Amino acid sequence: MQEPTGRSVKRLPKASMQARVAGELREMIISGELPPRSSLSEMALSETFGISRTPIREALKQLQTEGLVEIRPRVGTFVAVPSHRDVAELFQMKELLEGAAARLLALRGRVPATHRLPGA
């Protein structure tokens, strides 16, 4: 296959395309580029990514299992709205991870890299 520039393009296997699309959509959702409740059209995404609808559909299914999108049969696919419980659980996990990181740093004792920071 040739790009408009004349260079040869290597076609990615379907699984790789699905993973690439899932990764890019995940980043767009997390960054807020695709806000909650946004409609995600398989056809529009297919045109945007320049691939068939099958890897798009598989990527959306993967994102559904991750809780990032909601697929409503015969209605459409939408960016999920996190529930109050989801947000509370995320903050609890963040609290646990930050506490564990601080404890591990304290156990290491003096770390030369931290003493070079301003105010340290």
Apex CA 81: angle with CA 15 and CA 14, to 5°? Answer: 5
Residue 67 in this model has a pLDDT that exceeds 70: yes
CA distance 20 to 24: 6
pTM score of the predicted model: 0.65
CA distance 19 to 89: 27
- State whether the Cα torsion 18-65-40-27 is positive or negative: negative
- Give mean pLDDT, residues 72-90: 92
Q: What is the pLDDT of residue 117?
A: 62
Listed residue (78, 74, 31, 23) closest to 49, CA to CA = 23
- Give mean pLDDT, residues 85-102: 91
Residue 24 in this model has a pLDDT that exceeds 70: yes
Q: What is the pLDDT of residue 13?
A: 63
Residue 18 in this model has a pLDDT that exceeds 60: yes
Residue 2 in this model has a pLDDT that exceeds 80: no
CA distance 61 to 59: 5
